[in-house]
Structure 1
Amino acid sequence: MKDHLIIFDTTLRDGEQSPGASMTKEEKVRIAKQLEKLRVDVIEAGFPAASQGDFDSVKAVASAIKDSTICGLARAVENDIARAGEAIKPANSGRIHTFIATSPIHMQMKLRMSPDEVVERAVWAVKQARRYTDDVEFSPEDAGRSDLDFLCRVVEAVIKAGATTINMPDTVGYNVPEQFGALFKNVMERVPNSDKAVFSAHCHNDLGLAVANSLAAVSNGARQVECTINGLGERAGNTALEEVVMAVRTRQDHFSVDTRIHTPEILNASRLVSNITGFNVQPNKAIVGANAFAHESGIHQDGVLKHRETYEIMRAEDVGWVTNKMVLGKHSGRNAFRTRLLELGIEFETEEQLNDAFLRFKELADRKHEIYDEDLQALVTDANNERLENESIRLMALRVSTEMGEAPHATLTLWVNGVEHTANAKGGGVVDATFKAIEQIIHSGTTLELYSVSNVTNGTDSLGETTVRLEKGGRILNGQGSDTDIVTASAKAYINALNKFSMDDNKAHPQREETI
């Protein structure tokens, strides 16, 4: 019998800490429902004490998800733990994840606490969390750089206090596989009550070793891995869920564990997260990159045609790449449209929302001959962006002109808090002119940090998907937009980001003070 490897997904919490990856409550619920279809064991839905918005998002996810455990993060302080306990209350299965730093540099320079004080606070935090749930996870932050003797002391104490999961983070991505694996082996052997808890690995990818370190931990006794879809996360990212799951599944000859992940849903999860956050997946990304199962070399093509396993160690179908797709076009009906969206994990709360999406689909179908799954994902995300709560800015009309030797020009009309405003601007290009026209009306005071364009599918009639990243006062937010006209898509993305700023005024960045 293979041991069960618990998959703990933190896309909605640690993934959201990527600059510009903030998600709305509705977007978090959409991703959580896809994670549930993926059969993720634990979904870390957010950091409830960070803001009212984060609290509401965790509570919404806890209310919507039935088959996965919903986890809220909390520092080892009373308010954090209380907020997490309240946020996960609606969940069928809830967990509180509390943490405090244990490395010398963190204790001395950040916490300014003695080792004895850290142990006392850790034990207190676990006991406080147990007042809300029996499922309590504790993380000694920066475990990978902690003194082994002290780490063992803390772990033994928190297990005795009631922690059921011990997560040992490589917080700064400093460890190498041999070292990190040995850390788990030594702690589990030296702590007398280690058999009373599940040990977990949470790795960051600063040296590109997050997956390797996580697998080394699994080989040395860890039975939970904390990861994110597409490896999303702050700095260089986190352990990629899809890579850990498929490494364990593909190399059953090496690993004595397996997950319960329904792997054909991996690609849908990857595309949804990429679509919502605006973080594109690189073509050569393992498992979910566009080239992951592509062969251009003649030798490789010949080998695969003769016997797939000559150059492929996994089946593309097993992670969702090849499915029997219903071709959608302008003659497709509402039922076919609804059915395909349900297959993609997209559901609507009201019939009005379905009708709105169907009208958008028909408009797109008049401009494109065939509609692909990626088009549908982008279409629904675009519709959701335009239904943002407290939306104060809408694009009503846009006209641009460009001619060789002449400065490009844009004229647009915006609806701002119920009043229409029109502006004209010139720029270095039509997109630049459009953004300048928007700013003539809004005067947002933001700085454009990133502007990127990608095609959703192949062909010159493809939807163009744009991401705009704006910064203001240290806050960074992404906006997304899609349209067959790239200038319109760009305007939508810019306005989407501005609307998020107005919604996000009271939201602190998740874990601004501390991070695992």
Structure 2
Amino acid sequence: MPKNKVYIFDTTLRDGEQVPGCKLNTKEKIEIALALEELGVDIIEAGFPISSPGDFNSVSEIGKVIKNAVVCGLSRAVQKDIEVAGEALRTAKRPRIHTGIGTSDFHIKSKFNSTREDILQRAIQCVKWARNYTDNVEFYAEDAGRTENEYLARVVEAVIAAGATTVNIPDTTGYCLPHQYGEKIAYLINNVPNIDKAVISCHCHNDLGLATANSIAGAMNGARQIECTINGLGERAGNTSLEEVVMVIQQHQTLGFYTDIKTQQLNPMSRLVSETMRMPVQPNKAIVGANAFSHSSGIHQDGFLKDAQTYEIINPEQVGADGSKIVLTARSGRSALAHRFHKLGFMFNRNDVDVLYEQFLSVADRKKEVEDEDLKVLANQYQAATV
């Protein structure tokens, strides 16, 4: 395994599909799975096979068409779940079973009415069951973010010894601060004797808006897989956003990490998922939002027109966006107005722009955005008056 590669585990088709209204049929799932493989995703979590016949069929059909990526099926620490997942994944060239159980005292006592020792044994057993179907087994310690570190380390050591090749450390409730999550990963790296036998994975939720920061903190402390979704879709406030972690890694090369994601496909992938899952992307969403490369403030527009890097750290073409946009509003300045007139073919000098700017502000105060047609009217009226 390359030391500095961060593996991208996409769970759009499983965790992302758990968002109300995002239910996909098998044909739609296959389309997205093929696009994810083309994007360069390493592991595709295709579904939760025991949850419904439709999900079982989707996992099976996706396994037939995916050639390079690992195809993963989720299960609980229940023998029947694992048997069904194993059956669904029989068609996959590179199958993985993702099984596990809650490890925090909240889960052990309230959800399972159990004990730490019992949960430890159930964790070991579920990995052993999964190994009957594949040697690629991932264990998740649900609510690891709120699990006491010493007990978590015991569980991780035990499941690796039982055959888990990846161990997922989820911040299920999105509770951790980045330094806390990073310290948890570091604790495991330093206190689990057989940790070198498995890949540590981050699965962070966004309840406090920290999913991306937590995932990066995890990687900085030794995790080498990040679980994420396109557009950050997922339960409640969503999951770690694939496009965000990928671009953080690419922009901050001093971290020393890389992924195999083809970043030019990020915006097209975002649109495909948004349209197929009927979930609009918020305009201010990082990387893929409609306003991610838009500039409307006069101060920003002036700086951007002089040097794009004054206000853009990513080239839009780098992530498959349509390009930077100068949006004319009442906050825009003369530089942006002159730039837009020039693009429309009007060669006004500085004095002309000063006069037109006052007229422009009158229009801008009435409208949210001044369009090209509005500018053409202003320009033609001005030219007619000055002939």
Give me the TM-score of the superposition, normalised by structure 1: 0.62
Q: Secondary structure at the match of 1:7?
A: strand
**Contact kept in structure 2, 1:122 and 1:154, CA below 8 Å:** yes
1:281 corresponding residue in structure 2: 281
Checking the alignment, whether the CA contact within 8 Å between 1:184 and 1:222 is kept in structure 2 is: yes
Amino acid at match of 1:245: V
Q: Kindly report the root-mean-square deviation, in angstroms, between the aligned alpha carbons of the 2 structures.
A: 1.5
- Where does residue 90 of structure 2 map in the other structure? 89
SS of 1:242's equivalent in the other structure is: helix
Structure 2 length-normalised TM: 0.82
Output aligned runs, 1:166-185, within 5 Å.
166-185=167-186
CA distance in 1, matches of 2:268, 2:66: 18
More helix, by proportion: 2
Superposition map of 1:144-163 within 5 A: 144-163=145-164
Identity over aligned residues, as a percent?
56
Partner of 1:199: 200
TM-superposition CA deviations, 1:268-299 (whole Å, max 9, x none): 11001110111100111100001101112233
Question: 1:297-446, aligned counterparts within 5 Å?
Answer: 297-322=297-322
Letter in 2 for 1:111: F
Q: In structure 2, what is the equivalent of residue 65 of structure 1?
A: 66
Q: Answer yes or no: is the 8 Å Cα contact 1:12–1:46 preserved in 2.
A: yes
How far did residue 191 of structure 1 move?
Answer: 0.5
Encode CA deviations 1:463-483: one digit per residue, 9 max, x unaligned: xxxxxxxxxxxxxxxxxxxxx
Which of 1 and 2 has greater Rg? Answer: 2
Q: Which residue of 2 aligns with 1:482?
A: none
Deviations 1:83-121 (A, max 9, x none): 111111111111000010110110111112211111111
List alignment gaps of at least 5 residues for structure 1.
Answer: 324-457, 460-516
Local SS of the residue matching 1:257: coil
Q: Does 2:145 align with 1:139?
A: no
| 1:295 maps to 2:302 | no
CA deviation map 1:311-361 (0-9, x unaligned): 1111100111138xxxxxxxxxxxxxxxxxxxxxxxxxxxxxxxxxxxxxx
The 3-state SS of whatever aligns with 2:295 is coil
Q: Give the distance between the partners of 1:141 and 1:210, measured in 2 at CA.
A: 15
Q: For residue 2 of structure 1, report the CA deviation from its aligned partner.
A: 6.7
More strand by share: 1
SS across alignment from 1:11: coil
Runs of 4+ in 1 over 3 A off after TM superposition: none
| Alpha-carbon distance in structure 2 between the residues aligned to 1:236 and 1:301 | 32
State how far apart, in whole Å, the 1-side matches of 2:264 and 2:69 are.
18
Cα offset, 1:306, TM superposition:
2.3
In the alignment, residue 296 of structure 1 is paired with which amino acid? S
Aligned-residue offset at 1:199 = 0.3
Partner of 1:250: 251
**Aligned partner letter, 2:85:** A
Q: Which residue of 2 aligns with 1:13?
A: 14
Paired with 1:319 and 1:256, the residues of 2 have a C-alpha distance of 20
Per-residue CA distance 1:119-169 (angstroms, 9 max, x = gap):
111111111111111110001110011111111111000000110001000
Unaligned runs of at least 5 residues, structure 2: 324-370, 373-387
Whichever residue aligns with residue 149 of structure 1, its letter is E
The question of whether the paired residues in 2 share the 8 Å contact of 1:144 and 1:168 is answered with yes
Aligned to 1:25: 26
